[in-house]
Chains A and B, each alone.
Chain A
Amino acid sequence: MEPSQEFKIVTLGEGRVGKTSLTLKAARGQFHEDERSTVNANFLQKDITFQGNQIRLHLWDTAGQERFRALAPNYYRGAKGAIVVYDITDKSSFDRVVSWVKELSMQADKDICIVIAGNKCDREKERQISKAEAMEYARKVGVLHFDTSAKTGMGVEEIFSELGRLVYEVQMKKNPGTGERGYKSRKGKKIIIKKEEEVQKKKDCC
């Protein structure tokens, strides 16, 4: 089934918080130990279904190293959704989340949907950021927060599905006519070619 909508989603966060593992887990499932060839995990796609609509998410991984920090706007330009990832065992990575959310709110598309992922939840004992603190921050800035683990898969499906749903709803609200087929000539002749099944449906109604 071909997707009816496609959206650009960007993952942001400090280096080594597990952004790539998270998207790899979401898009390809388990990592195959016996896979011998090189895997390009910087751009991936994930299809989700929402209310019968097939939605394709284009997942753009971004570089987390400090030296690439200034290049991030090139990547989140035009993105409709963003996952800001931190490592629950590293306090400084959460501090970085605050600055990412602030930057996205100011510089990214006005209607961008943001979610926060507290990754590496399989290492609960090493937690440096309390769940309550993270949830409180997310509530304050009006975004959703998910506990995730790229290793066990915990929360991975949920965060992508939820972000897809949010983006879809925002975009449908913004462009209610999206998906309408038709070709308008500048000479005022409008040609609307309806799919056969649409015509049939109409006939059946009458």
Chain B
Amino acid sequence: MGGKHSRKKSSIKDEYLKIIENKKREYYKKNEEVINACDFRNWKDFIIEEIETAKQKFPEATWPAKLQKLCRNWNTIKDHKWRSNVLWYDYLQTYKVQTPQSQATPQVTLKIPMPSNFVNTFEAQSLIDFLKSHFKSKEDHFIAAMISKFNIYFTQQYLDPNTNSSTDLKLNAEVLADPEKVTSQLVEEVKAFIMVTLQSMIHYYGGVVARMMEEKPGEMYDWILEEVFSENLHSVLMAAFRLLNQQAEEKYRQQLETFGNLSCADLGLETPFQLDVERGKGIDQGYQKAIDKLKEIEQCYSPLNKVNVIISTTRLICECVDDYWRDDPDINPKELVIDADQILSIFLYIVLKAKIYNLRGHVKLIYEFGRRIVQHGSMGYYVTTLEACIEQIESLGPDLLDKIKEYFSRN
């Protein structure tokens, strides 16, 4: 009896393994071109070559040589699990897509005992999400380690050795001597490192990641940008941008002090958007939610996260206006259309109240590293509006305020 049962079990198992084997073969056949598109066995050599390109472009920079050394001494055994699992993940995703919703395979998180806190998150919704989980292991994932080390080496290269606080960074003598030239080099070096990282992803993971990079280049770029921009790197770049616009920044700070108390009406906001007017309503909130949101830009390090703060601020502006006029039957909905003049004026009010120092630096960071689509789409529109606000604040004065009054008395 037992033998019959065991034989039956064994044949089911064999059949199952046969199906799996066929599926694997089918997957390989279908993706052969992609899988073999890159020779990723010698990934370290290719990455060293990639860094060499940056080294030749920036002969004075010290980080490329240090990263090459890191790469040469890296123990590749640690990386095997990350690299092989990408293929597994892609295979499972292909299978998942073909499975009807009603018969979906239950999602399982595999936890294999490993020396570090290694977790294979095969339930990730996309390959990028799957890869993101790899980057948490800076000790045994080469690219994550390379990014972490780049941040240290790059910061060392441009900071005064006596700097001991991240809030009061001192740039070294080289930057202070020629801020314009060095800042532009600083930006180019970071861009070069981002390129090295993107190329390294192909050499490290092979064709599956190369295909994804070809299909979703923007998403991939945004994610790598997020990984590369640490607090230290952000602080160095922001300090350099402030140095570059030192005079304009001083004037801007003075203007914030002088005109920080202007009302919505003073700044030319039309009546429906003057949320600082009582009108029998509670004005505790006004644009406060939007002001608080914009302040968060200082705590975001990656350019895309900064853009997201600006977009959220724009949404909150609408929410503040909605909250203010809610349950008011007298308001004509046609008056609640925010055109370009009004959004600029509202942002002007918000920026004056938020009192964010070096705002020009935040905008420059977005322009320098943001993608074209980020700059030309809705994100770009509101970043441009913020940039326009800075310029408007710099030129604020009695003449401009009189012009606003005159315009409103005429219309």
Contacts and interface: CB of A to CB of B under 8 A. Distances in A.
A37 B199 contact: no
B372 to A, nearest CB: 8
A183 B381 contact: no
Contact of B377 (A31, A58, A77): A58
Contacts of A33: 333-334
Interface stretch (A63-71, A128-136, A164-172): A63-71
Contacts of A31: 334
Contact of A68 (B37, B334, B388): B388
Nearest to A37: B322
Interface stretch (A40-48, A84-92, A111-119): A40-48
A187 B403 contact: no
Interface of B: 34, 37-38, 46, 49-50, 53, 199, 202-203, 207, 210-211, 213-215, 217, 268, 314, 317-318, 321-322, 333-334, 336-344, 373, 375-378, 380-382, 384-385, 387-388, 391-392, 395, 400, 403-404, 407, 411
Contacts of A68: 341, 344, 388, 392
A6 interface: yes
Interface in A167-200: 181-183, 185-187, 189, 191, 193
Given A37-B336, A58-B376, A68-B388, A185 B341 contact: no
A67 B407 contact: yes
A58 B378 contact: yes
Q: For B49, B339, B411, which residue has the most chain A Cβ atoms within 10 angstroms?
A: B339
Given A62-B340, A63-B341, A191-B38, 4 more contacts: A38-B336, A42-B342, A68-B388, A78-B376
Interface in A35-62: 35-43, 45, 58, 60-62
B388 A6 contact: no
Given A20-B340, A61-B340, A40 B318 contact: yes
A74 interface: yes
Contacts of A34: 333
Given A31-B334, A41-B339, A71 B381 contact: no
- Chain B at the A interface: SS class: helix
Given A40-B343, A60-B381, A68-B388, A24 B337 contact: yes
A40 B381 CA distance: 12
Contacts of B318: 37-40
B391 A70 contact: yes
Nearest to A9: B376
A38 B318 CA distance: 6
A178 B391 CA distance: 35
B215 A193 contact: yes
B210 A183 contact: yes
Given A8-B376, A67-B404, A20 B50 contact: no
Top 8 nearest A-B pairs (CB, nearest first) are A183-B214, A20-B339, A61-B340, A43-B381, A38-B318, A71-B388, A8-B376, A63-B341
Contacts of B38: 185, 189, 191
Contact of B375 (A19, A38, A78, A183): A78
B285 to A, nearest CB: 15
A34 to B, nearest CB: 7
B214 A182 contact: yes
B407 A65 contact: yes
B48 to A, nearest CB: 12
Contact of A16 (B268, B385, B387, B411): B411
B239 to A, nearest CB: 25
Contact of B343 (A42, A45, A64, A193): A42
B338 A40 contact: yes
A191 B338 contact: no
A195 B192 CA distance: 30
B333 A65 contact: no
A153 interface: no
Given A67-B400, A183-B213, A41 B337 contact: yes
A75 interface: yes
Contacts of B373: 6
Nearest to A43: B381
Nearest to B202: A185
